[in-house]
A and B are shown apart, each in its own frame.
Chain A
Amino acid sequence: MAKRQPEGGQDPVVQRIRLRYAKRGPMRFTSHRDFARAFERALLRANVPIAYSQGFTPHPKVSYASAAPTGVASEAEYLEIGLRAVVDPDDLRAALDAALSPGLDVIEAVQSPLNGGGSLADRIDASAWHLELPGITPASAEAAVRAFLAAGEVLVERLTKQGKRVFDTRAAVVRLELLEASSALGDVPSGVAEAPCAILDLVVRQGTPTVRPDDVLSGLRVVADLEPPVPPRATRLAQGVLTAQGEFVDPLAADRPAAVVGASSLV
């Protein structure tokens, strides 16, 4: 009868590397699953000595920290990989970046301890977002923000896999501010270039369910009927642990060698 156990085993993990990557421009429309498939292929294209799980269908050792929703750009996504051979983190960053489609960009790679040191998830409890609302005047955005912050609770509804869910968005919002128009990231969608565009700076603490930028926009609609005529554009700028002063502790900081390499940041 059939062998019910696979022969041999997979090579052990000898190095753990954490990556920060970005989803930019049109690539923001990749879902988390799309990115994961593209990343697995990039590992093969770049000949990365990735380690595999044991079992009948070995999976590459890749684990993701909270991924940005489909349609949202990000400058601060994180993942961790386990390798069966040691590589130079900077070389790995360059090889993986070249192996992914432009717009899926690997920004930084650092080695993390094989044991201990805590997981990536332990180092993330909040997220900073940049929201562009084309067609919304700064004045109306400001009024909506004031109403939102003044409310004790802002209930919104979202369709989840479990069905419709109603939850509070206010409690999770640590910061919500109107920025100057000049702080727009990249191109404003054409056709609205002449139109006003309000820009919001948003910091949200993680919880259950995770409050996403579109939930906060729903909240602004609830409190102030704020209804952007064209879809807003959201970009995640940072993730990490929020200090009492409202600063982000970069999840890779603890692993980064004393001399900082390759880190570029929009934050």
Chain B
Amino acid sequence: MSVTSVFPQLERLLPRISKPIQYVGGELGAVIKDWDSVTVRWALSYPDAYEVGLPNQGVQILYEVLNEQPDVLAERTYAVWPDLEALMRAEGVPQFTVEAHRPVTAFDLFGISFATELGYTNMLTMLDLAGIPLESRDRDDRHPIVVAGGHAAFNPEPIADFIDAAVLGDGEEAVLEITAIVREWKGEGSPGGRDELLLRLARTESVYVPRFYDVDYLPDGRIQRVVPNRADVPFRVHKRTTMDLDAWPYPKRPLVPLAETVHERYAVEIFRGCTRGCRFCQAGMITRPVRERSITTVGQMVKEGLEFSGFHEVGLLSLSSADHSEIGDMCSGLAQQYEGTNVSLSLPSTRVDAFNVTLAQELARNGRRTGLTFAPEGGSERIRKVINKMVTEEDLIRTVVTAYSNGWRAVKLYFMCGLPTETDEDVLQIAKLAHEVIRAGREATGSRDIRCTVSIGGFVPKPHTPFQWAKMETPEVIDHRLRALKNAINSDRNLGKAIGYRYHDGQPSLIEGLLSRGDRRVGAVIRRVWEQGGRFDGWSEHFSYQRWVDAASAVLPGYGVDLDWFTVRERDQNEVLPWDHLDSGLDKDWLWQDWQDSVTGFEQDDCRWTPCFDCGVCPSQDTEIQIGPTGKKLLPLTPVGSGLRVPQTVHQHG
């Protein structure tokens, strides 16, 4: 049965809304295949506005991996803004994909990548506009299998009622395996319907199907146990790890939008994983071990990615890019290749280290200097030991002064507020640090024309980290500390005027905390917030703290718990955590020990350079650290000359 485009209906709405181009498609790299020529069809989504969702690397990679399969098609869909949502409801236009404007409900699978929990309400809007029942149990064979992925899928319990399945970890191989199961099941004539298909997925032990697990609670509200309710369904579901990134050089044909988006660049992941061991960092914990992409693959990807996309900027991404074993050669090689081309190269600098300045200096060779950002995260040396961010005050000042001396006139410094054991004094130390940075910078450069921006956000404890047991601070305490810090920065007017101050107040963090460490009971809160109009919770102009508080107080007391119980309550060692049946590879005893070590300020080294400290990931997942150096160098590119290039046809049709 073929499926028709909803574009004619949509087109009549586009002149009446803002930024219509975001709903039109037409990106370079987009693929439109004949619906009837394929067996398995995926709709992929990043549940935010197009301008945020399009650049998402995860979706772009899976999009390309899936579309390379001859009998598979993948299209993309994003959250529509409220102006279009209202018109779609009024005119009966369903949630659509941007390539061929096909209705999402016609696809076999609807994959949603959650980088943040604040996208949950947008997922409900998409499901509802698609005509897919909000809850998994109300769906039947006519509806797509809704699959969640991304970092938030490491605790999908708050959305367990709304999704059919979740995949933990890297998606490249997982989407192909899911596709193979769906292909085979359809080939057999879809025996046993939806239930049988979900059962087959669950039996792989790497796809979590929430409906096959029952959660029992203790009288005090804590979880008693989570157990499978079907035969052959595993007690624990394991995360996926893609080994050998050189074998997966995606994106090769990045999506290049016509609409303006938040990142307009070709991004290459130079490695995945991080073992720096920052205790607040969920990304660093759940993506272990470190797997580097080799310098030659990176060079090849940059060359082809730029030629294909026409982007003028390249981002060398990872959780801590300066840690790549060949980052020096990579930066100087790329800088040499693109010297004089007006292509700019950038490194998200988060490590506080003068080496980062050297690298940025190298990348700025052709005159395009990108911003420098350092993330000491904690204001005092004591709190930095608690979070395992091994940076001394001297390190930080020396690094920033090096940046000023090398021509940067402004740097950004990132911090967190509300960390475990934190006191007002720890936060006030940030002001002292910033003053010292400006003072030393002025002295070293002889100029008053230098600035720094202090950016600070609320700490949110995340599952699968040593801080998963920690209590959050209340928004009142956070906001008090943020105000005190502002006053402290401005207490010295002379230095304070060279310091910019940006902060995120405590309320959104508390809700993020509820969603991060919530269990299935939180699903009712999400649904109620959405019913009361909650949309785009990651956007401060759309987020309503009151709406979340009201929904939590309407729903949670029925279960004998409340918002505070999920957020500002510290958990003890024996508590069954909602995500304990989801295996990130990290040994829970190791996490607990690291949590204990943090309180005493014991620092944990990086296993890339010191012996293994038994976090548990490699043996349990059968993975290993993959790092260089390979000893190879980037060869100079053949001079392009002045010949015009007629690019290949931009749209692939299957």
Which residues on A sit within 8 Å (CB–CB) of B258?
Answer: 27, 30, 34-35, 37-38, 101
Q: Which of A2, A31, A42 is within 8 Å of B407, CB to CB?
A: A2
B24 and A49 form a contact (CB under 8 A): no
B9 and A41 form a contact (CB under 8 A): no
B367 and A102 form a contact (CB under 8 A): no
Do most interface residues of chain A lie in helix, strand or loop, or is the interface mixed?
loop
Complex: chain B residue closest to A56, CB-CB: B367
B247 at the interface (CB under 8 A from A): no
**Interface flags, B15-32, vs A, CB<8A=1, else 0:** 110011100111110000
Closest chain-A Cβ to B346's Cβ sits at a distance in Å of: 14
Q: Which of A49, A94, A230 is within 8 Å of B642, CB to CB?
A: A49
Say whether, besides A1-B446, A87-B642, A101 and B28 are in contact (CB < 8 Å). Answer: yes
Which residues on B sit within 8 Å (CB–CB) of A92?
Answer: 644
A45 and B308 form a contact (CB under 8 A): yes
A43 at the interface (CB under 8 A from B): yes
B407 and A3 form a contact (CB under 8 A): yes
User: CA separation between A41 and B254, bound complex, in Å?
Assistant: 13
Which residues on B sit within 8 Å (CB–CB) of A52?
Answer: 342
Which residues on B sit within 8 Å (CB–CB) of A99?
Answer: 310, 646-647
Which residues on A sit within 8 Å (CB–CB) of B446?
Answer: 1
Say whether, besides A1-B446, A46-B645, A48-B644, A41 and B20 are in contact (CB < 8 Å). Answer: no
B447 at the interface (CB under 8 A from A): yes
Closest chain-B Cβ to A186's Cβ sits at a distance in Å of: 12
Which residues on A sit within 8 Å (CB–CB) of B21?
Answer: 29-31, 34, 70
Which residues on B sit within 8 Å (CB–CB) of A26?
Answer: 7, 11, 24-26
B643 at the interface (CB under 8 A from A): yes
Complex: chain A residue closest to B365, CB-CB: A7
Say whether, besides A30-B21, A98-B649, A44 and B9 are in contact (CB < 8 Å). Answer: no
Which residues on B sit within 8 Å (CB–CB) of A27?
Answer: 24, 26, 258
Q: Which of B27, B445, B643, B644 is within 8 Å of A1, CB to CB?
A: B445
B14 and A29 form a contact (CB under 8 A): yes
Closest chain-A Cβ to B115's Cβ sits at a distance in Å of: 25
B642 and A85 form a contact (CB under 8 A): yes
User: CA separation between A33 and B261, bound complex, in Å?
Assistant: 12
B409 at the interface (CB under 8 A from A): yes
A101 and B26 form a contact (CB under 8 A): yes
Say whether, besides A34-B259, A98-B649, A102-B650, A45 and B20 are in contact (CB < 8 Å). Answer: no
Complex: chain B residue closest to A48, CB-CB: B644
Closest chain-B Cβ to A100's Cβ sits at a distance in Å of: 8
A47 at the interface (CB under 8 A from B): yes
A44 and B11 form a contact (CB under 8 A): no
**Interface flags, A30-68, vs B, CB<8A=1, else 0:** 110111011011111111110010001110100000000
> What total of chain A residues lie within 8 Å of the partner, measured CB to CB?
48
B644 and A47 form a contact (CB under 8 A): yes
Q: Which of A2, A6, A85, A231 is within 8 Å of B15, CB to CB?
A: A231
Say whether, besides A7-B367, A40-B312, A41-B310, A71 and B15 are in contact (CB < 8 Å). Answer: yes
Residue of B14, B258, B312 ringed by the most chain A CB atoms within 10 A: B258
User: CA separation between A99 and B649, bound complex, in Å?
Assistant: 8
Closest chain-A Cβ to B261's Cβ sits at a distance in Å of: 10
A87 and B644 form a contact (CB under 8 A): yes
30 contacting pairs across A/B (C-beta < 8 A): A1-B447, A3-B407, A6-B367, A26-B24, A26-B25, A29-B21, A34-B260, A35-B258, A37-B258, A37-B260, A38-B258, A41-B28, A41-B312, A44-B306, A44-B343, A45-B307, A45-B645, A47-B640, A52-B342, A56-B367, A58-B342, A70-B21, A71-B14, A71-B20, A87-B642, A92-B644, A94-B646, A98-B648, A102-B26, A191-B12
* Further pairs besides A2-B445, A58-B367: 5, Cβ < 8 Å: A29-B20, A30-B258, A40-B310, A85-B642, A87-B642
Q: Which residues of B contact A (CB under 8 A)?
A: 7-9, 11-12, 14-16, 19-21, 24-28, 256, 258-260, 264, 306-312, 342-343, 367-368, 406-409, 445-447, 640, 642-651
Q: Which residues of A contact B (CB under 8 A)?
A: 1-3, 6-7, 26-27, 29-31, 33-35, 37-38, 40-49, 52, 56-58, 60, 70-71, 85, 87, 91-92, 94-95, 98-99, 101-103, 189-191, 230-231
